[in-house]
Amino acid sequence: MGIDKLIGVDKIPFFPPEASTFAREIDVLYLVTWALTIFFLGVVIVMLTVLAVVYRRNSKADRSHPIHTHHGLELAWSIIPMILGLMIFAWGAKLYADAYKVPDNAEEIFVVGKQWMWHIQHTNGIRENNTLTVPTGRPFKLTCISQDVIHSFFIPAFRIKRDVLPGHYTSAWFEATLPGEYHLFCAEYCGTEHSRMTGTVRVLTPENYQRWLDLKGTKETVEAKPVRAKSMEEEGQEIFESVGCANCHTAEDTPRAPSLYALFGKKRQMQNGEILVADRDYLRANILTPNDKITAGYEATMPTYQGNLTEEQVNALVAYIKSLGTSEEPKPAGGEVKIQNGKVVTPPVAPKAATSNTQGGN
């Protein structure tokens, strides 16, 4: 039962539905804060009224012993509200931390905001406009970026809201609990049609979600043969080849360019001595404006892709680069590794001794 039903206001939409794991906890905190506020407001109003009536002019109230100081009373009305205030603070801080600490097993969904629509990319390649389809019972991480101005991704039924900024990724997460259709808003004034930058969040049961995936994951070709939608990694690989990344970035470092294999999450030294972690923001910046920060040991020879790639394409490229390995995985043996059509082709696994001297390079 929703809080609104509990307090008998479910006929009036004071509260959006509670459709995520956060919703109930946030509503309880909100209602407790609200109840405390009403309580203290009540105390003040009652005292004000009673004292005004009792001590009105010409009343016969006893005025012979006015109290000037009462330490007990003063301490009580200072300390009790202070404790209550700190409790609300600690409680709110805990919920805030929970809402922004993305669980490790969360699946990633990409959100691109632009004037004036929401574009959603699922890692399996499915795309949606102004609609976000998710199943219940699974945590999802939203990685958001804007193509132009600041937007804000707001799903009231999930009690999540995250600013979506140009040039920098932000993230949020949720786990949906209640199947249904909910509002999706932009909550940051972003221009003329801000108020129309809305959409629908569709929460499906896991079974219906699977059906939806099967339906969306294939598309009919001219010959009416269903083909699987390209995953983000596959799309990224195609971009990698078509815009020419593969010409310089091979499986091994070359004098022209560093290898991108197993780059994601690794620490990199810049020409100016700065150490940066090759995360999503780093890769995006190095794709769009590569000459701002040059990796130590390389020349500024890479062309800039600012304006040539959309944020969706950058998301796909980063997904592909990420698929080339993470910092924990060693690079494949040198020499034999080839890039074929932009994809690293690893040789058959060689005995350990044979590959032990081929690490390094970056």
The residues binding ligand CUA (CB under 6 A) are 113, 116, 151, 186, 188-190, 194, 197
Q: How many helices (H) and strands (E) does the chain have?
A: 9, 16
Q: How many angstroms separate the CA atoms of 133 and 301, rounded?
A: 42
Question: Closest separation between CB of residue 161 and ligand CUA, Å?
Answer: 12
Q: How many angstroms separate the CA atoms of 19 and 178, rounded?
A: 5
Buried b / exposed e along 245-258 (16+ C-beta atoms within 10 A): bbeebbbbbeeebb
Question: Closest separation between CB of residue 116 and ligand CUA, Å?
Answer: 6
155: how many CB neighbours lie within 10 A of its CB? 24
- Of 118 and 209, nearer to ligand CUA (C-beta) is 118
Q: How many angstroms separate the CA atoms of 324 and 250, rounded?
A: 11
- Of 190 and 257, nearer to ligand CUA (C-beta) is 190
The alpha carbon of residue 66 and the mean position of all alpha carbons in its chain are separated, in whole angstroms, by 60
- Of 116 and 174, nearer to ligand CUA (C-beta) is 116
Question: Closest separation between CB of residue 340 and ligand CUA, Å?
Answer: 42
- Of 197 and 251, nearer to ligand CUA (C-beta) is 197
- Of 114 and 280, nearer to ligand CUA (C-beta) is 114
**Cis peptide bond upstream of 116, omega within 30:** yes
199 DSSP β-pair partners: 184
Q: Are 348 and 336 in contact (CB under 8 A)?
A: no
- Of 113 and 332, nearer to ligand CUA (C-beta) is 113
Question: Closest separation between CB of residue 147 and ligand CUA, Å?
Answer: 11
**Cis peptide bond upstream of 34, omega within 30:** no
Asked whether the CA dihedral 55, 57, 61, 63 is positive or negative, the reply is positive
CA distances from 77 to 35, 47, 112 (A): 18, 14, 50
- Of 175 and 312, nearer to ligand CUA (C-beta) is 312
Dig out the tokens for 145 from the structure. 């970026």
Question: Closest separation between CB of residue 193 and ligand CUA, Å?
Answer: 8
Question: Closest separation between CB of residue 184 and ligand CUA, Å?
Answer: 11
Residue length of the chain: 362
- Of 190 and 203, nearer to ligand CUA (C-beta) is 190
Question: Closest separation between CB of residue 149 and ligand CUA, Å?
Answer: 7
CA distances from 323 to 141, 242, 260, 265 (A): 18, 18, 10, 12
Question: Closest separation between CB of residue 150 and ligand CUA, Å?
Answer: 8
Question: Closest separation between CB of residue 156 and ligand CUA, Å?
Answer: 15
For residue 147, give every residue at least 6 positions away whose Cβ sits within 8 Å of its Cβ, in sequence order, or none: 112, 113, 114, 166, 310, 311
- Of 115 and 355, nearer to ligand CUA (C-beta) is 115
Give the CA dihedral 86, 90, 93, 95, nearest 10 degrees. Answer: -130
Question: Closest separation between CB of residue 284 and ligand CUA, Å?
Answer: 20
For residue 189, give every residue at least 6 positions away whose Cβ sits within 8 Å of its Cβ, in sequence order, or none: none
Q: Which amino acid is present at 312?
A: E
- Of 113 and 342, nearer to ligand CUA (C-beta) is 113
